[in-house]
Structure 1
Amino acid sequence: MKKSFEIKGKEFGKGNYWICIPLVSKDIPTIVEDLNKIIELNPDLIEWRVDFFEELQDLDKIIGVLNSIKALTINIPVIFTCRDITEGGQSNLNNDAKYRIFQEALNTGAIDFLDIEMMSGVDYIARVRNLIAQYDKKMILSYHNFHKTPSKRFIVEKLMEGERLGGDITKVALMPNKSNDVLKLLSATEKAWENIKIPMITMSMGELGKVSRIWGSAFGSEVTFASMDQISAPGQINFRLLKELIEIISKGGGKS
């Protein structure tokens, strides 16, 4: 039986397909402007990619932004991500520095999910998981490869690793080098869905992978990422277009 939970009226683990818009602005004035634009679009989720923030070392400014996000996202779940440079992000902070940011972020009450890379290590993940549990929030354990798509077996095992390490959601994002790589990702998602009890997020990136962002729910993925203006990963589709395509193609036809 699948594990399910509800965050701000959005059910996860029930076969829904939610659209998330990442906030990737670099400075406070642009963050405020872009956040208001995103709110007007009313996405299912918002992700603040704090690693793009040019004042990442200033905790007070991070807290200020989070308080602004909190005031505007009463009904929208928020993912907080400090993506490491080794997995396509902008941050080269060490784990202790990121942990301090996570503590402050959770203290604001502005976030609902923390996204942590699986490569962070078992001990660190357990430490962050315990921190998140104190605030009754959720952890996304993720793996990104911006260079290639590994084997189907590797993808399935990586998704299962996210569950084994205590994630509430397990996530994999991969770069295809040929069309068969996209099929491999989707097939691995479907295979993992048969064995994993927690919700999954999977996507194939770049131009080749766009179909996985539209039709991922048919294979077991529960969240897709769309762009407003700037993209946080290659192949992201404009929010309005993606929403329309999903409504036309899937009509809520995800796995359940």
Structure 2
Amino acid sequence: MSRLKLRNLTLGENEPKVCVSLIARNFEELFAEAMRLNALDCDMIEWRADYFMYVNDPHFMKKAAYFIRYAIEEKPLIFTFRTLQEGGGQSIDLDYYFELNKVMMETGLVDIVDLEFEMLLKKESDVQDFAKLHDVKVLMSNHDGGKTPSNQEMLETIYEMREFGADICKLAVMPHDMSDVLRILDVSNHIQTTKPDLTFTLIGMGDIGRLTRLTGELFGSSITYASNGKHMSAPGQLPIGPLRKGMDVIGLSKPRGR
């Protein structure tokens, strides 16, 4: 499994790293939630800016990023604006989407930006090069909330993300039965055995897909997303406690004394 260093964390080492989403509408909620999440047994925090009411004001967004970084200390921070078409909180202008991500990169406060692959395909952008210039990792993502594509389609999507300059490739799909779940795990295993230098996470959403959130250590996914105790940012997320217990049972690493 590929290893990627982020602050005091290494993706691809032992169990998948547990990420929870920070969802807040205003500054008061934002700081309180950031403090609450920092106290949870999570490894990373994802700021879902698509729920923040000031997202269209770069000045306020920079200020918000400072609040979050102060609150979460040294935990790696993923900046995400999830578009409406991929299950997010609101729509966004294409040009501003790239501008916003660049503004966040320039702050030096975020460690990863989540860029939707479909947005990158819509318009040529230097956002990937901009990220490298500011030492920010690029997580390219694609979400299919309706189905599980064919094995070949899933592989091609992840490999294309890598060619586009992704440091981390994320694909989330919707399984409808256990056959779909087994195909997701089969694709994950194929990637980790044939492309060991590729950092990725492959998720089956919904209740049926929960197994895929537990088995990353076995099948190669480097990040798993958990409920933050108040919200699920995607269907099928487990609370942190049960998620960690499940990974301890299924995984290969020695439990951390939980």
Instruction: Report the TM-score when normalising by structure 1.
Output: 0.92
Deviations along 1:68-103, whole A, 9 cap, x unmatched?
111133321111011111111123212211122112
Look up the SS of the partner of 2:218 in the other structure. Answer: helix
Question: Is residue 246 of structure 2 the alignment partner of residue 245 of structure 1?
Answer: yes
Identical aligned residues as a percent:
27
Post-superposition offset of 1:244: 2.3
Which runs of no fewer than 5 residues in structure 1 stay unpaired?
Answer: none
Give the Cα separation in 2 of the matches to 1:241 and 1:183. Answer: 21
Structural mapping, 1:1-256, within 5 Å? 3-14=2-13, 16-122=15-121, 124=123, 126-196=125-195, 197-228=197-228, 229-252=230-253
Give the Cα separation in 2 of the matches to 1:83 and 1:91. Answer: 8
Q: Residues 145 and 123 from structure 1, CA distance in 2 versus in 1: closer, same or farther, beyond 3 angstroms?
A: closer
Deviates more, 1:66-75 or 1:136-145: 66-75
Q: Residues 123 and 88 from structure 1, CA distance in 2 versus in 1: closer, same or farther, beyond 3 angstroms?
A: closer
Deviations along 1:226-255, whole A, 9 cap, x unmatched?
0121010000011122122212331428xx
Post-superposition offset of 1:45: 0.5
Look up the SS of the partner of 1:90 in the other structure. Answer: coil
Look up the SS of the partner of 1:92 in the other structure. Answer: coil
Post-superposition offset of 1:185: 0.9
Give the Cα separation in 2 of the matches to 1:177 and 1:216. Answer: 20
Post-superposition offset of 1:123: 7.8
Deviations along 1:118-144, whole A, 9 cap, x unmatched?
112358565110110111110011111
Q: Residues 119 and 243 from structure 1, CA distance in 2 versus in 1: closer, same or farther, beyond 3 angstroms?
A: same
Give the Cα separation in 2 of the matches to 1:252 and 1:21. Answer: 21
Contact 1:77 1:111 survives alignment (8 Å): yes
* Structure 2 residue identity aligned to 1:239: I
Give the Cα separation in 1 of the matches to 2:11 and 2:216. Answer: 15
Q: Residues 106 and 121 from structure 1, CA distance in 2 versus in 1: closer, same or farther, beyond 3 angstroms?
A: closer
Give the Cα separation in 1 of the matches to 2:219 and 2:123. Answer: 31
Look up the SS of the partner of 2:215 in the other structure. Answer: helix
**Number of residue-to-residue matches in the alignment:** 252
Contact 2:20 2:42 survives alignment (8 Å): yes
Post-superposition offset of 1:158: 1.1
Which runs of no fewer than 5 residues in structure 2 stay unpaired?
Answer: none
Post-superposition offset of 1:16: 4.1
Instruction: Report the TM-score when normalising by structure 2.
Output: 0.91
Contact 1:21 1:46 survives alignment (8 Å): yes
Contact 2:11 2:223 survives alignment (8 Å): no
